């Protein structure tokens, strides 16, 4: 394991040298006589921990602490003070110091303080490792190479750091909105707390209120005799995911708004108010702006749900992700069914790239599940894909009736290279006919625009 890095910032050389000498065998130690030099060094080499003297020349220790917390929030700071000045120590702790030590320093005590601080860092890194592992194994929307999905991933990681800010996810059906919500939860400080989901479109409108907020004993005819805890309460200190939030009735919208604004609600039939802290993440494939104009969705609720908005690109907008996702799904289903798979043939890959994924990631997952059930070889071939999928592939606008094998050379040839060269020529010709309009050229070749752009980029290294 790599040694932890520690900065020692103190204007007294004897203290710098003494601390460095004691810690140098266990940690990577760098010492600085003032805050300005330490902050400059942090730009190139961020430490895990900084021992920072409060009484420094130039920039004070308190000001330096504030600068470190702002620019390098992951760096823990332990303050060093010449005497136990309560007001100064309180100011330092309020400004974000992890702990403090008092001069004259006792090295045994200092090492214990440092050890405790580094245990906090070690635990945080372990949590981050577990989060990354979980996301990689369970959140396939995070598998991708396109800039579109990388931008979404980076945005999600930033958004997730707030434990309770509402997030609204918008995108087409099948783009993985629930997976995005799960990614937000498992990247957040609340990741060990519950992640509760409710599909607002799948629950009858007269039951959605009791599902969200629960009900008390005898609240309505047929109610559970002991009452029932709602999903809001089940998601306490965690994340509540409201899928298809556009399907909520106006009455349910009003009660959800009250909960978002005050963090409180009344179970159905109850008179005792409950207060719960949870982050609400919602998703929809509907146009909420149009619904607000027609009075079907409350404007005030929209702005409360969408403090942060996440736009999920369709699969056709990120063709570079089709094959990584396909391979991920195929391996998962193959392992589950006890079948060995080593890859996907070039013909099958071409078919997957040409398909218009109107059902997005969900459709691709279903196609690969069916393929995993049907095929029995080491490499998935075109004929292993479902017949309905193959029937939906775009047909070429150019007849191939006049192509035969009469001139097939006896020594053979590379069919893949020949097909790629033929594809280059057709793409060039289509671009000429379309006067370099990619959308029109794609239509001439019976391809969707995103697939055409992907193939053109790959074949011509644009």
Angle between helices 449-460 and 415-433 (to 10 degrees): 120
Q: Which two tokens stand for residue 388?
A: 């309905």
Q: How far is C-alpha 54 from the geometric centre of its chain's CA atoms?
A: 39
d(CA 423, CA 427): 6
Look at residue 66 and tell me whether its pLDDT is greater than 70. Answer: yes
Q: How far apart are the C-alpha atoms of 292 and 342, rounded to whole Å?
A: 50
The C-alpha atoms of residue 352 and residue 367 are separated, in whole angstroms, by 10
What would the two tokens of residue 113 be? 């303080």
Residue 239 confidence (pLDDT)? 94
Alpha-carbon torsion angle 60, 62, 63, 68, nearest 10: 120
Omega of the bond leading into 104 within 30 degrees of 0 (cis): yes
Specify the pLDDT at position 415. 73
Q: For the chain, how many helices (H) and strands (E)?
A: 19, 14
How many other C-beta atoms can be found within 10 angstroms of the C-beta atom of residue 175? 27
**Greater confidence, 252 or 8?**
8
Please name the residues in contact with 324: beta carbons below 8 A apart, sequence gap of 6 or more. Answer: 143, 144, 145
User: Which residues, other chains included, contact 76 with Cβ-Cβ below 8 Å and sequence gap of 6+?
Assistant: 48, 49, 50, 98, 117, 118, 120, 121
Sorting pLDDT into bands at 50, 70 and 90, what band is 20? very high
- Structure-token pair, residue 123: 């635990």
In sequence order, which residues have a C-beta less than 8 Å from that of residue 191 and are 6 or more positions away?
127, 131, 185
Q: What is the pLDDT of residues 243-278, one digit of tens each?
A: 999 999 898 899 899 899 888 888 888 888 888 899
Determine the distance from the C-alpha atom of residue 299 to the mean position of all C-alpha atoms in its chain, rounded to a whole number: 27
Q: Which residues contact 366 (CB under 8 A, 6 or more apart)?
A: 359
Cβ neighbours around 288 below 10 Å, total: 21
Band (347; pLDDT cuts 50, 70, 90): confident
The first and second tokens of residue 145, run together, are 């190479």
Q: Are 196 and 239 contacting, i.e. CB atoms less than 8 angstroms apart?
A: yes
Of 130-134, 165-169, 246-250, 372-376, which gets the smallest average pLDDT?
Answer: 130-134
Strand-strand pairing, 379-380 and 343-344: parallel
| Cβ 423 vs Cβ 460: under 8 Å | no
Measured CA to CA in angstroms, residue 233 lies from 275, 291, 381 at distances of 9, 29, 49
Which pLDDT score is estimated for 398? 43
Phi and psi at residue 430, to the nearest 5°: -60, -40
pLDDT above 90 covers a percentage of the chain that reads: 32
Report the range out of 27-36, 360-369, 410-419 with the highest average pLDDT: 27-36
Q: CA triplet 88, 94, 61: central angle to 5 degrees?
A: 50
Cα–Cα distance for residue pair 326/364, rounded to 1 Å: 7
Tell me the three state secondary structure of residue 303: helix
Q: What is the mean pLDDT of residues 142-156?
A: 80
pLDDT score recorded for residue 396: 47
- C-alpha triplet 355, 458, 155: angle, nearest 5°: 75
Mean per-residue pLDDT over the chain, rounded: 85
CB of 278 closer than 8 Å to CB of 232: yes
Least Cα distance to 118 among 172, 30, 48, 66 occurs for 48
Contact indicator for 439, 449 with CB cutoff of 8 Å: yes
In degrees, to the nearest 5, what angle opens at C-alpha 320 toward C-alphas 314 and 323? 100
Q: Are 99 and 116 in contact (CB under 8 A)?
A: yes
So what's the pLDDT on residue 300? 94
Whether 218 has a pLDDT exceeding 60, the answer reads: yes
Q: Residue 10 pLDDT > 90, yes or no?
A: yes
C-alpha distances (whole Å) from 384 to each of 13, 305, 356 are 73, 44, 19
DSSP, residue by residue, 66-120: HHHHHH-TTSEEEEEESS--HHHHHHHHHTT-SEEEESSP-HHHHHHHHHHHHHH
Mean local confidence (pLDDT), 388-399:
64
In the chain, the percentage of residues whose pLDDT exceeds 70 is 90
Cα separation, 213 vs 229, in Å, equals 7
pLDDT beyond 70 at 442:
yes
Integer CA distances (angstroms), 232 to 81, 219, 246, in order: 47, 18, 18
81 pLDDT higher than 60: yes
- Map tokens 């577990």 to a residue: 130
pLDDT of residue 366: 92
Out of 4-13, 220-229, 438-447, least confident range: 220-229
Query: For the segment 271-311, what is each residue's pLDDT rounded down to a tens digit?
Result: 888 888 999 999 999 999 999 999 999 999 999 999 999 99
Of 264 and 403, which is predicted with more confidence?
264
In the numeric block, the tokens 């602490």 are attached to 65
Residue 397 in this model has a pLDDT that exceeds 70: no
């Amino acid at each position: 394991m790599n040694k932890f890095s520690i900065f020692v910032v103190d204007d007294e050389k004897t203290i710098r040298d003494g601390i460095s000498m004691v810690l140098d065998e266990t940690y990577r130690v760098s010492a600085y006589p003032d805050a300005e030099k330490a902050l400059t060094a942090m730009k190139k080499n961020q430490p895990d921990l900084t021992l920072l003297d409060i009484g420094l020349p130039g920039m004070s220790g308190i000001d330096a602490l504030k600068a470190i917390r702002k620019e390098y929030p992951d760096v823990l700071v332990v303050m060093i003070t010449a005497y136990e000045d309560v007001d100064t120590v309180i100011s330092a702790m309020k400004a974000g110091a992890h702990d403090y030590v008092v001069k004259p320093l006792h090295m045994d005590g200092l090492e214990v303080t440092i050890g405790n601080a580094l245990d906090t860092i070690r635990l945080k890194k372990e949590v981050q490792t577990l989060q990354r592992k979980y996301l990689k194994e369970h959140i396939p929307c995070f598998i991708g190479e396109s800039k579109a999905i990388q931008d979404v991933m980076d945005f999600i990681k930033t958004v997730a750091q707030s434990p309770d800010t509402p997030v609204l996810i918008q995108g087409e059906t099948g783009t993985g909105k629930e997976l995005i919500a799960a990614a937000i939860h498992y990247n957040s400080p609340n990741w060990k707390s519950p992640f509760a989901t409710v599909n607002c479109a799948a629950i009858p409108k007269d039951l959605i209120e009791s599902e969200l907020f629960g009900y008390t004993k005898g609240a309505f005819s047929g109610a559970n005799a002991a009452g029932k805890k709602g999903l809001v309460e089940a998601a306490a200190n965690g994340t509540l995911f409201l899928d298809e939030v556009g399907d909520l009735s106006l009455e349910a919208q009003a009660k959800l708004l009250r909960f978002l604004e005050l963090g409180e609600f009344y179970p159905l039939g109850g008179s005792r108010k409950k207060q719960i802290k949870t982050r609400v993440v919602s998703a929809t494939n509907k146009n909420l702006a149009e619904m607000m104009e027609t009075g079907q969705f409350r404007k005030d609720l929209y702005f409360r749900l969408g403090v942060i908005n996440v736009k999920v690109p369709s699969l056709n907008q990120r063709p570079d992700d089709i094959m990584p996702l396909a391979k991920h799904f195929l391996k998962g289903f193959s392992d589950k069914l006890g079948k060995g798979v080593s890859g996907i043939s070039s013909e099958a890959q071409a078919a997957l790239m040409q398909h218009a994924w109107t059902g997005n990631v969900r459709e691709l997952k279903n196609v690969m599940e069916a393929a995993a059930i049907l095929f029995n070889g080491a490499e998935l071939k075109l004929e292993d894909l479902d017949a309905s999928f193959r029937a939906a592939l775009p047909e070429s606008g150019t007849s191939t009736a006049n192509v035969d094998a009469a001139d097939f050379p006896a020594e053979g040839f590379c069919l893949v290279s020949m097909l790629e060269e033929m594809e280059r020529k057709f793409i060039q010709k289509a671009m000429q006919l379309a006067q370099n309009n990619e959308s029109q050229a794609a239509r001439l070749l019976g391809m969707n625009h995103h697939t055409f752009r992907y193939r053109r980029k790959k074949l011509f290294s644009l």
